[in-house]
Amino acid sequence: MENEQTSCSYYIRNIAHLMANMQDRCLSSYGLSNQQARILMFLSKHNIRGQRNIKRKDLENYLNLKGSSVTSLMNSLEKNGFLERNQSEKDARRTELSLTDKAKELVQQMDLIFEATDNQLQEGMSEEEKMTFRLLLGIAHNNINI
C-alpha cells in the first residue's frame, strides 16, 4: 500500500491547490478569483465563436461547481463590471451573457497568467517529458471524468 505522500492523489491535490493559489495571487490585483477568471475565459472563447446564449449548466459543467456557486460567481462578476446579462432578442426567455470592455481587456492578461502557471508546472521537463506528462494527465482526466 502506498503511503499518503507518494500517492497520485496526494500530488494532484497539492498541485491543484498550489496552482489555484498562485493564480489567485496574480488575479487579485484585478479583483478576480481563479474561478471568476475561468468564467470570463470560457465566455470569451464562446463569444468569439458567436455563442452568446451560454447556459448556467454549461458553466456548472466546465467549472465542476453547483448552480448556486456559479450564480454567485456570475453575480459578483456582474456587480464588478466584468459581465453583462441581457435578454435575448431572439427568445425573451433566454439571457445572453457578454463580457464588458473591462473584461475583454483582462482576458489577454489572464491568458498570460494561466500560461505562466502552466510553464512553471512543467519547468525542468524536456519536450518529450512534457508531451508524456500531458498525455498521462489527459488519460487520468478521462478516467476520473465519468
Domain boundaries, the chain: 4-144
Q: For residues 40 and 46, is the Cβ–Cβ distance under 8 A?
A: no
91 in helix, strand or coil? coil
- Residue-by-residue DSSP string for 26-67: HHGGGT--HHHHHHHHHHHHHHHTT-----HHHHHHHHT--H
pLDDT at position 53, please? 64
> Cell 493559489 appears where?
21
pLDDT interval class at 15 (50, 70, 90): very high
pTM: 0.71
pLDDT in tens, 110-129: 888 888 889 999 999 999 99
- Mean pLDDT for 10-32 is 88
The cell for 8 is 497520485
When mean pLDDT is compared across 19-23, 84-88, 104-108, the lowest value belongs to 84-88
CATH of 4-144, one of 1.10.8.80, 1.10.3720.10, 1.10.10.10, 2.40.50.100: 1.10.10.10
Q: How far apart are CA 89 and CA 145, in angstroms?
A: 36
